[in-house]
């Protein structure tokens, strides 16, 4: 299949089913390498680093990056436009019945269960990111680097200290790059 | 994102009132897609119909398209450089920690009761052990919500 057509179909689907905002796109993006050779699961880590540290919504940044890896700038353009097209259509339809829509019991009750399910799917995707970027050695085998794992949990703890909570992800990513160069990670 | 939307749309341009913006934000959360983009599309549509919706959406995605494409181009070229490779090694740790943060934040926001925890765990296990497509898990969860509501077991 034509790569642009494939990007359109995949990202239109992601835009339609990613309920709960940007992070909800991650499980879908982790699934794409199973079916296409656009990028690998390991690449998702780099994509997330770039998406977290650049302005703009993370979901949009991820789509642009994924599309770019698949088919250059035009690929990024097609992926991003396809991702927002369902929102555009749904909102133009919903705008007229705004009050009815957001108070509709079917919408409310289905979303009340979709949100927890999406959280579970994101947890799975995050496990996948840990496996690809921490638990895989240079030969592609499973390993468990205890020190790095503890360091990661420690960084998570630091991020949640009150005074550091407001820092932009780009700051942490810059620190990570410096530490990586110093310790030759 | 909300404070920035408030400043640009309410204070600077007077396109919407703060109450309207909060309404749009609520709807943006229960329509599919990226919440910030949904809000922008909504405001554009309210102001100038379909052309307004299209242009505000395009405006919202343009910076990402330009900046991320340029970064992707450079990063893909320099990944084989030894210094960049070490930097990426350090960045991986940060990305893992950031993602852990994302999951915890999502869980706090979206899981309100025991049923929510069960659905969350089920979705995780289905994704882990079965090849069921992600889309189907989302659809099943939605259907389950409606069934639970019909059975009178879900208060929304």
pLDDT in tens, A37-78: 999 988 898 889 888 888 888 899 999 999 999 999 999 999
pLDDT confidence of A117, banded at 50, 70, 90? very high
Specify whether the CB–CB gap between B123 and A121 falls below 8 A: yes
How far apart CA A114 and CA A121 sit, in angstroms, is 10
Bridge partners of A136, per DSSP, are: A142
pLDDT confidence of B52, banded at 50, 70, 90? very high
pLDDT confidence of B139, banded at 50, 70, 90? very high
B21 near A CB under 8 A: no
pLDDT confidence of B59, banded at 50, 70, 90? very high
The SS3 call for residue A168 is coil
Lowest mean pLDDT among A29-38, A57-66, B10-19, B50-59: B10-19
Which chain A residue shows the shortest CA-CA distance from B115? A113
What is the pLDDT, as a whole number, of residue B107? 93
How far apart CA B29 and CA B120 sit, in angstroms, is 19
Interface predicted TM-score of the whole assembly (ipTM), two decimals:
0.86
Contact residues, chain B, for A115 at CB < 8 Å: 109-111, 116
Lowest mean pLDDT among A117-131, B1-15, B51-65, B123-137: B1-15
pTM for the full predicted model? 0.86
Contact residues, chain A, for B99 at CB < 8 Å: 26, 48, 125-126, 129-130
Alpha-carbon distance values, B114 to A21, B110, B118 (Å): 23, 12, 6
What is the pLDDT, as a whole number, of residue B76? 81
Residue B2 predicted with pLDDT over 80? no
pLDDT confidence of A142, banded at 50, 70, 90? confident
Question: What is the percent of chain B where pLDDT is above 90?
Answer: 47
């Amino acid at each position: 299949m034509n790569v642009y057509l494939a990007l359109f179909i995949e990202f239109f689907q992601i835009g339609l089913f990613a309920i709960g905002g940007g992070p909800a796109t991650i499980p879908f993006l982790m699934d794409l390498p199973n079916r296409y050779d656009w990028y690998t699961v390991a690449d998702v880590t780099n994509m997330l680093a770039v998406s977290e540290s650049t302005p703009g919504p993370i979901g949009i940044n991820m789509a642009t990056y994924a599309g770019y890896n698949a088919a250059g700038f035009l690929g990024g353009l097609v992926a991003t436009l396809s991702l927002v097209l369902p929102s555009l259509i749904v909102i133009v339809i919903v705008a007229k019945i705004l009050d009815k829509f957001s108070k509709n019991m079917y919408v409310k009750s289905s979303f009340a269960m979709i949100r927890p399910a999406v959280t579970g799917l994101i947890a799975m995707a995050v496990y996948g990111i840990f496996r690809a970027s921490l638990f895989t050695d240079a030969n592609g085998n499973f390993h468990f680097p205890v020190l790095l794992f503890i360091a990661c949990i420690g960084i998570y703890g630091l991020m949640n200290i009150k005074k550091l909570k407001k820092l932009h992800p780009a700051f942490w990513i810059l620190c990570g790059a410096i530490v990586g160069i110093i310790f030759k990670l | 994102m909300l404070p920035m939307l408030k400043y640009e749309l309410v204070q600077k341009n007077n396109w919407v009132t703060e109450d309207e913006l909060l309404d749009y934000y609520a709807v943006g959360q229960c329509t599919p897609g990226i919440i910030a983009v949904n809000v922008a599309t909504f405001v554009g549509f309210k102001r100038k119909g379909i052309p307004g919706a299209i242009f505000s959406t395009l405006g919202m995605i343009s910076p990402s398209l330009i900046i991320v494409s340029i970064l992707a181009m450079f990063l893909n070229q320099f990944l084989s450089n030894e210094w960049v490779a070490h930097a990426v090694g350090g960045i991986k740790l940060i990305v893992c920690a950031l993602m852990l943060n994302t999951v915890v934040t999502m869980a706090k926001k979206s899981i309100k009761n025991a049923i929510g925890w069960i659905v969350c765990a089920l979705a995780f296990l289905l994704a882990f052990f079965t090849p069921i497509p992600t889309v189907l898990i989302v659809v099943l969860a939605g259907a389950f919500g409606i069934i639970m509501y019909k059975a009178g077991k879900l208060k929304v």
